[in-house]
Amino acid sequence: MKGPTDSHWAEAYYHQQAQARKNRAWKSVFRPSAIAAYLAIAGRIIVGPLALLLLFTLTGYLSDATVFIEADRSIFAFTERDSSMAGGCTGCLGPCKIVMLKYKLLEDSLSDEVLAFSEALDANGTLCQSSKNEWGTSPIVVTGSAQELLNIVHMANLNLSPQMVRELELAIERADECVTGWTMMSVVRLFQYPTAEGSSEFGQVPAVDTHIFPDYTECRPVVEIDDSLVGSKLALDTNGQDPLKVVPDQLTLFPYSFTSSLPPIPRSVPADPSKTKTGATSVVQSYLRAYYGGCRVRAVNTTGIYIEDTRVISKHWVGYGLMVHSPDDIPLCSTGDVCIHNYFNSLWEWEHYVAADRPDRVGMNLNTFRSRYADTVAISVLPGVVVGQILLMGVVSLYQVMSHKRSVLLTQIWAYRCQNGRMQVIYLAQISYHLLYNSDLYMLGLATGTLTGESIANLTCCVFAFSYSFVNLMKARSGDQQLDRHFRLIWEAMQIVITTIVGCLLLSWQKAPFESILAQNAEILRKTSARGAKYCGLNDACVLFTVNFPSVIAVLSVGFGFVAVVASLLMKRMAPKASRSVRGSYVTPKIAVADVNGKKQAAYEAENDDLTSFERNCLGSPFHKLFSDCDEITYVTYNGKRCTTVEALLLTGYLYYGQHIYQASSVMLLLVARLVPAKILRTFNVLLLRWHVDPIEGTLSHALSCTWYAASAEDHKMAAATPVA
């Protein structure tokens, strides 16, 4: 019997589909599968590409981005009673006359007045120490009240900054406002001095410096240095040159007591009120200083170097020129010789205590001002490129599958097309290489809170690309010859949720050090040990991580995949069953169960497989040999004939184009041909396979070959989709 007329074969199907859409209730839009479909498409087609575009255009990702923050974006923090910098000294306490003798610069003898004063200090419980502490230094330290320290300054005629003396005077006047002890410490500190004009390579020289500070930093009075406190005078004419025009990065991190071209750094810094003794929300840090000829510097500019007008230059120190107080660097390095620099305000301050069970030991909880930044390491754009590849293939697959019609089922097929193919191996290989090569950098950055925004984006891309391709390959290698459409859709929809959560968590950890990484997943090696000599290179210490980043993300990926499997099972239970009147008539019969490799497999009656023209001419076998779980979506009764559904045809990678069926890759070539001049196309000897659709019977011809140039000359468009008999 002849088939319907040319117009009837497609026309009836279109009317049927239009009527089905009209009869579809609005509540179907809110089915779990429909919500998952909208979420999956929105994430892969809209949100993902837009986020990647913003990353590429609004940041330095493609230009000058770095893995870690640099000195100009250093992280500054104040910590009162910093547990990581606790220490003390044992057996270091002694009579205060020894300290006074040292402060009097080893005079032959102390006067009776000074000896009496020293004995009074001992009687009042003043702590005097002058031997080596647990940090390996031997400072001269006196801890007592502000009045006692001021008396020592006057008695020993110490050359101290007028600012510190004024702080003691104000502390005495305001003793009831903030109760605290005070400490004076003299210790050898490191200073840097310029060695060549315009060079950031500074020389280093140690020199003794004295500092006075309260036990609780919030009790320090605010005293600024100006001409009313101490005047200034020219010590060296610089002939129009600025000695501090170019300086090492570490000299730009803390405030200095003199005016110069160094960037201004505020003294007042935020404090955690829950960690300060008085609940203060801000504290004032000490000024670092500079010296010229042994005199404190007031200003450095193109005119010259100015010192305090009350001081006399020492010839011994003039040879070093301008000596600038240097912060103390306590670096944390990876085995790859990349270091996180922890620069501390080296005017160390602490709260002291003496435990009842250890009366011979003075404990010290340091109040630290720390600025942290890292070595310059250029960022790798590979994660962004891999994510771009994944998103691009998702857009291409969506165009191929959804150009003809749109439905939840087609979205599930699109998800399957996105999650399969050779590219999954390439995605995983690229991102695994990047993670293995940069694992220590990411671990170190998270542990110290020094990753840049671009690195956070990179790490988010890594989690997305690795988990996505890893789970896809696990699914592909599971041995199941199934579409598993509910899992595909759920897994695709989960990507936007997973990526958003991971990105938000990483952003929240960006400035907050993930200290458990160093505590539980790292070993700090010293260069003096055998393992340290092997891994640390020229660094004094380095960090060796136990578990690398690919392992962490692989475990997370397995967890994500498990959640997707559970969610897909729940969705499968809630999904409506296919209509038996439409699809059930031609489900391929199953007659036996065979045991193959320990698995129960349904065996099909080959003699009853009435192949459609698509199966016969395109696939060469029944559809169920490709997918064992698609019987309810494979066939449909249309115009009295058993036909392959549009969904089944699209699932196998074929597309309707003009009056023919093409493989999806061939259709993409035809679309590219619209942008390429015909003369250029003729130079390519590319053959395309296609199958002609009979406009009356709705059947496919045998495979026909055609050149790329000839097929593109037909100038067809994506055709409407109909079942194939």
- Residue 14, pLDDT > 60, answer yes
Among 312-326, 551-565, 582-596, name the one with the lowest average pLDDT: 582-596
Q: Which residue has the higher pLDDT, 719 or 654?
A: 654
Average pLDDT estimate for 595-620: 62
What pLDDT, on the 0 to 100 scale, is given for residue 577? 56
What pLDDT, on the 0 to 100 scale, is given for residue 597? 44
Q: Which two tokens stand for residue 15?
A: 């009317």
Backbone angles phi, psi at 341, to 5 degrees: -95, 120
Contacts of 688 (CB under 8 A, 6+ apart): 662, 666, 669, 670, 705, 706, 707, 708, 711
Q: Which residue has the higher pLDDT, 505 or 9?
A: 505
Average pLDDT estimate for 444-461: 92
295-344 pLDDT, tens per residue?
A: 999 999 999 999 998 888 988 889 889 999 999 888 888 888 899 888 88
One-letter amino acid for residue 129 of the chain: Q
3-state class (DSSP) for residue 264 = coil
Q: How confident is the model at residue 480 (pLDDT cuts 50, 70, 90)?
A: low
Q: How confident is the model at residue 583 (pLDDT cuts 50, 70, 90)?
A: very low
- Residue 606, pLDDT > 80, answer no
346-386 pLDDT, tens per residue?
A: 888 888 888 888 888 888 888 888 888 898 999 999 999 99
Q: Please state, for a pLDDT cut of 70, what percent of the chain lies above it.
A: 88
Task: Please say whether the beta carbons of 411 and 485 come within 8 A.
Answer: no
Q: How confident is the model at residue 255 (pLDDT cuts 50, 70, 90)?
A: very high
Q: How far is CA 518 from the centre of its chain?
A: 17
123-153 pLDDT, tens per residue?
A: 877 888 877 777 778 888 888 888 888 888 8
Distance between CA atoms of residues 44 and 464, nearest Å: 12
Distance between CA atoms of residues 342 and 373, nearest Å: 7
Q: How confident is the model at residue 591 (pLDDT cuts 50, 70, 90)?
A: very low
Task: Please say whether the beta carbons of 155 and 114 come within 8 A.
Answer: yes
Report the side by side order of strands in the sheet with 654-657: 654-657, 660-663, 687-692, 704-707
The pTM (predicted TM-score) of the whole model is 0.75
Strands (E), 317-460: 322-325, 328-329, 332-333, 339-344, 349-353, 361-374
Task: Please say whether the beta carbons of 528 and 508 come within 8 A.
Answer: no
Task: Please say whether the beta carbons of 643 and 725 come within 8 A.
Answer: yes
61-89 pLDDT, tens per residue?
A: 999 899 998 888 888 888 887 766 777 88
Identify the DSSP state of 295.
Answer: E
Distance between CA atoms of residues 328 and 370, nearest Å: 9
| 104-109: Cβ within 8 A, 24+ apart | 104/156
Task: Please say whether the beta carbons of 42 and 36 come within 8 A.
Answer: no
What pLDDT, on the 0 to 100 scale, is given for residue 593? 41
Q: Count CB neighbours of 208 within 10 A.
A: 10
Among 89-93, 232-236, 280-284, name the one with the lowest average pLDDT: 89-93
What pLDDT, on the 0 to 100 scale, is given for residue 25? 54
3-state class (DSSP) for residue 523 = strand
Average pLDDT estimate for 443-451: 89
Among 20-24, 139-143, 458-462, name the one with the lowest average pLDDT: 20-24
Looking only at Cα atoms, what is the longest distance across the chain? Answer: 133
Domain boundaries, the chain: 24-68+379-576, 82-374, 582-713
Helix (H) or strand (E) holding 206: strand 202-214
> How many residues in the chain?
725
Which range of 74-83, 367-376, 584-593, 632-641 scores highest in mean pLDDT? It is 367-376
Distance between CA atoms of residues 659 and 307, nearest Å: 92
3-state class (DSSP) for residue 588 = coil
Distance between CA atoms of residues 43 and 48, nearest Å: 6
381-422 pLDDT, tens per residue?
A: 999 999 999 999 988 888 878 776 677 888 888 888 888 878
526-548 pLDDT, tens per residue?
A: 777 788 888 888 887 788 899 99
